Amino acid sequence: MPYVNIRIAGSLSREQKKQIAQEITDTLERIAHKPKSYTYIAFDEMPHENWAIAGTLLGEED
């Protein structure tokens, strides 16, 4: 541990995932004192229609 799960609607580029993973791993080392090698990060890129806010699927309002 730590285990971090990031769930978003839509997709991220490999470069975006790379940068996000670096920054979050750094944040957890600097603030929570967790060695970098311990941090696992898992990204879930989900279809927009599989995500609802306020009872409305994303994109539904269009």
Total residues at the site for a copy of itself (CB under 8 A)?
49
Token look-up 């920054």 returns 23
User: Residue 37 interacts with a copy of itself (CB under 8 A)?
Assistant: yes
Copy the structure tokens of residue 9.
């609607």
Report the distance separating Cα 32 and Cα 27, nearest Å: 8
Number of C-beta neighbours around residue 43 at 10 A:
15
61 binds a copy of itself (CB under 8 A): no
53 binds a copy of itself (CB under 8 A): yes
Applying CB under 8 A, the residues found at the interface with a copy of itself are 1-9, 12, 14, 16-28, 31-32, 34, 36-46, 49-58, 60
